[in-house]
Amino acid sequence: MTAAVFFGCTFIAFGPAIALFLFTIARDPLRVIFLIAGAFFWLVSLLLSSLVWFISVQISNKESAAQQKGLLIFGVVLSVLLQETFRFGYYKLLKKANEGLLTLSQEETMPISIRQLAYVSGLGFGFMSGAFSVVNILADSVGPGTIGIHGDSQHYFLSSAFMTLAIILLHMFWGVVFFDACEKQRWWAVAAVVISHLIVSCLTFQNPQYVTSLVPTYVILFLMGIWAFYSAGGSLRNLKLCLTCKDKDFLLANHRPR
Amino acid sequence: MNASDTDEDSYNERTALVPSENPEVQSYSPDADHTPPDSTPSKKPQVTRRAGPAAADGVGGGGGGSSDQEADAEDEELTLKYGAKHVIMLFIPVTLCMVVVVATIKSVSFYSEKTDQRLIYTPFSENTSSVGRRLLNSVLNTIIMISVIVVMTILLVVLYKYRCYRFIQGWLILSSLMLLFWFSFMYLGEVFKTYNLAVDYPTVGVIIWNFGAVGMICIHWKGPLQLQQAYLILISALMALVFIKYLPEWSAWVILGAISVYDLVAVLSPKGPLRMLVETAQERNEPIFPALIYSSAMMWTVGMASPMDAQRSGQETDEEADQRSQGAEPEIRPSRSFPEDDLEEDRGVKLGLGDFIFYSVLVGKAAATGGDWNTTLACFVAILIGLCLTLLLLAIFKRALPALPISIAFGLVFYFSTDFLVQPFMDNLAAHQFYI
């Protein structure tokens, strides 16, 4: 426990996300604002789903553990659906705002493109989701204690950290795919995002059998990543150019005067 | 650097951030304790743009240089970008203040200990047996506190109207003296106690003396902008910690709500004290002594003399002022009296210290009660979004606006709902390790 576990798990869970934030978002104020707004939307969706869950718990039989677990599962599914609904709502809001700004400014280009917004809002959702899942656990890991002293799994902290990492990145990929699908009116893709979110959440019902929950989650993460890459306009050619530092657009973009 | 007389020449070459025509970039929501920035109408828009590099401008020359349509288009885009930039310029100090407060609350237990000691402004105890009695006491405490604040604000307005500047200045200096020396001494003492460090008095004396003296100079006179901003953040945090410690539980929440309502009334209603203050200052068209405002920008002027004094620094906080929370002297931009030639300025954005204090009180209280990080995070995000919305409204209405109501409303809603609804849900999920 203590410092080693705390720092290790924190960096596992938030490392990539913070790196993404620092390198791609922190410089641009508009993106930061939309990130925080995305986090806010996720928060509101969580609030609503907690409200429903809370009410259902109050009117249920508090003694029966099976019923409570059932209600919790119901809460999880509801929460996932609400999150995706709010993602859609955020998309609509952003479209409207962008259109408004466009007509107002009579410019050809918007200050921030819908793809950037997709990325940023997905990451915002991811940050909030990851933070809410894991911050309390991390806070507990600083103090003294023994994990799994009553026979539970020893890998609680580590698996939580890895799961959080997967969730944050997944939210980002889902955001990109979702917005792109909404733009192109491909509703099957939207449904696929929702279903994959449901699958990932339902896989966690199998914890503490971490193998069966973490491995498929990472497989889905990888697949969603590829899908998001392609829907964001990436291709093998782009990738090659980028990796061999021959991508002129990218190089030029990074050297423009500030 | 805050503008000082010797450095004016070097500012000639600087490519300043283009001052936007739209005041949302500059004026800002006043609020408890701070001065409402002058509202737009009185400001002459300075749209001087350097033909040089920087910022995406293609609009050369003064305001009427290019065709109106292009100017508008550029303006809108730039407004959005600069608006966003200034939102971030406020997000960062607000976040820093909250981080300091939350870090202190979580590590130094002194500030979250229950104590029977109370401020004289909240005389009614909350240690009563019945819920009704407790509620009544907290409402009474709130009434007393708010009336103290109202009285002090009106006193300030009256003093200002009758030009008793020295008195006000003296008052502010006395208060910041107390804050910088006494409260920081107490804070240091508590930190040492928490970490069990034995430090001798001469060392502490030297530290506090240096800290306080530099603070007084930075805040009331001249100093590097960032140092001044740092001091303002620190004293806001100190003040917030004092409030968190000494305000009884329920009174704190009711006071937060009541102060937002008061802020709304004081700034927006025609007879509100803060509004009168702003209008008086604008009528006189004079720079006032620096007030309790955090300013994110600097004024660069070419060949200007004394009007600068009023503009820079002057962010001091004041205990009574904080408690009256509506102090706010408006900062008049001396720029109005400037000649028309090239004036590069980044007006930046201003936020009153009272805002900082009450935001931090809300987040600190969330961190202190319950020890749960989710609530703290939720309040933090809610406050930032409220701030964002307030700035958006500022851009739309272009006049002095209160910064407390929206943020505090969101903060309170999210605090109570996260504490009562979300927390049990997330706890249950974490226990089973379900992820949503």
- Contact between A29 and B372 using a beta-carbon 8 Å cutoff: no
Q: How confident is the model at residue B217 (pLDDT cuts 50, 70, 90)?
A: very high
Which DSSP category does B340 fall into?
Answer: S
Candidates A47, A136, A207; nearest CB to B433? A207
User: pLDDT at residue B332 above 90?
Assistant: no
Tokens of B340: 């028309």
Nearest-CB residue to A47 (from B384, B417, B424): B417
Helix or strand run (H / E) with residue B294: strand B293-295
Mark yes or no for CB contact A133/B426 under 8 Å.
yes
3-state secondary structure of B259: helix
Number of neighbouring beta carbons within 10 Å of residue B383 = 26
3-state secondary structure of B71: helix
The Cα B313–Cα B57 span in angstroms is 29
* Distance (Å) from the alpha carbon of A80 to chain B's nearest alpha carbon: 6
Residues 6+ apart with CB under 8 A from A186: none
Residue of B nearest to A76 (CA): B436
Res B357 pLDDT > 90: yes
pLDDT band (50, 70, 90) for residue B12: very low
When CB atoms are compared, the residue of B76, B372, B381 closest to A36 is B381
pLDDT surpassing 60 at residue A257: no
> Which of B77, B87, B434 lies nearest to residue A76, judging by beta carbons?
B434
- Give the CA dihedral B371, B372, B376, B377, nearest 10 degrees: 150
DSSP-assigned states of every residue in B186-253: HHHHHHHHHHT----HHHHHHHHHHHHHHHHHHHHS---HHHHHHHHHHHHHHHHHHHHHHS-HHHHH
Which pLDDT does position B50 carry in this prediction?
32
Ranked by mean pLDDT, which of A80-89, B290-299, B306-315, B348-357 comes out on top?
Answer: A80-89
pLDDT, residue B61, reads 36
Q: Which amino acid is at B306?
A: S
Q: Do A47 and B381 touch (CB under 8 A)?
A: no
Mean pLDDT along residues B157-182: 88
- Write out pLDDT tens, residues A167-223: 999 999 999 999 999 999 999 999 999 999 999 999 999 877 888 889 999 999 999
Contact B404, B358 (CB under 8 A): yes
Per CB-CB distance under 8 Å, the chain B contacts of A216 are none
Is B174 an interface residue toward A (CB < 8 Å)?
no
The answer to whether the CB atoms of B76 and A104 lie below 8 A apart is yes
- What's the mean pLDDT when you consider all of chain B? 74
Q: What is the pLDDT of residue B304?
A: 36
Q: In the block, which residue shows the tokens 């390198």?
A: A23
| pLDDT at site A104 | 64
Q: How far is A247 from chain B (nearest CA, A)?
A: 24
| Minimal Cβ distance to A33: which of B388, B421, B425 | B388
Q: How far is the CA of B156 from the CAs of A257, B166, B267, B354, in angstroms?
A: 48, 12, 15, 15
CA pair distance A112, A139, nearest whole angstrom: 36
Q: Is A1 exposed, middle or buried (0-12, 13-18, 19+ CB in 10 A)?
A: middle
- Best A9, A46, A140 member to test B by mutation, with max B CBs in 10 Å, is A46
Residue A20 has pLDDT above 50, yes or no: yes
Judge: B414–A257 Cβ closer than 8 Å, yes or no: no
A222-247 pLDDT, tens digit each:
999 999 999 988 888 888 888 887 76
Average pLDDT for B97-103: 95
Give the span between the Cα atoms of A114 and B354, in whole angstroms.
37
Q: Is B419 a catalytic residue?
A: no
CB contact under 8 A, A257 and B53: yes
Please count the CA atoms within 13 angstroms of the CA of B98 that sit on its side-chain side: 25
Token pair of A251, please?
Answer: 């190089």
Show residues of chain B in contact with A136, CB under 8 Å: 372-374, 426-427, 430
pLDDT band, residue A82 (cuts 50/70/90)? very high
Instruction: Using the predicted structure, report yes or no on whether residue B29 has a pLDDT greater than 80.
Output: no
B325 pLDDT more than 50:
no
Structure-block tokens of residue B173: 């200096």
Average pLDDT on B37-48 reads 32
Residue predicted with more confidence, A79 or B272? A79
More confident site: B434 or A233: B434
Supply the angle between the helices A65-105 and A114-142 in degrees, to the nearest 10.
Answer: 140
What pLDDT digit, counting tens, does each position of A129-166 carry?
Answer: 999 999 999 998 888 888 888 888 888 999 999 999 99
Query: Among A52-56, A254-258, B112-116, whose mean pLDDT is lowest?
Result: A254-258
pLDDT(B70) > 60? no
Q: Reply yes or no on whether the pLDDT at B19 is more than 50.
A: no
Mutate to test the interface with A, among B425, B428, B429 (most CBs of A within 10 A): B425
pLDDT of residue A126: 96
CB contact under 8 A, A43 and B432: no
- pLDDT tens for B120-149 read 888 888 888 888 998 999 999 999 999 999
**Per-residue pLDDT band at B396 (split at 50, 70, 90):** confident
**Residue B43: predicted pLDDT:** 32
The pLDDT assigned to B114 comes to 78
pTM for this model (two decimals): 0.81
pLDDT at residue number A148: 81
For a pLDDT cut of 90, what percent of chain B falls above it?
36
B355 is catalytic: yes
Q: Which residue of A has its CA nearest to B382?
A: A40
> What confidence category does residue B260 fall into, taking pLDDT thresholds of 50, 70 and 90?
very high
Most B CBs within 10 A among A136, A169, A207, A258, hence the mutation to make, goes to A136
Question: What is the C-alpha to C-alpha distance for residues B426 and A58, in angstroms, rounded to an integer?
Answer: 16
- Indicate the residue type of B122: T
- Give the model's pLDDT for residue B240: 94
Cα angle at A7 between A4 and A9, to 5 degrees?
100
Q: Which residues of A touch B84 (CB under 8 A)?
A: 29-30, 32-33
Nearest to B434 among A136, A156, A204 (CB): A204
Query: What's the pLDDT at A211?
Result: 85
Judge contact between A169 and A196, C-beta under 8 A.
no
- Nearest chain A residue to B417 by CA: give it: A47
Alpha helices in B62-200 (DSSP H): 68-107, 131-161, 165-177, 184-195
Q: Is the pLDDT of residue B168 over 80?
A: yes
The pLDDT score that the predictor gives to residue A36 is 95
pLDDT given for residue B14 in this prediction: 40
The CA distance from B215 to B203, in Å, is 18
Task: Using an 8 Å CB-CB cutoff, list chain B residues near A111.
Answer: 77, 80-81
Which range is most confident: A187-201, B16-30, B48-62, B64-78?
A187-201
DSSP string, A182-235: HHTT-HHHHHHHHHHHHHHHHHGGGTT-HHHHHHHHHHHHHHHHHHHHHHTT--
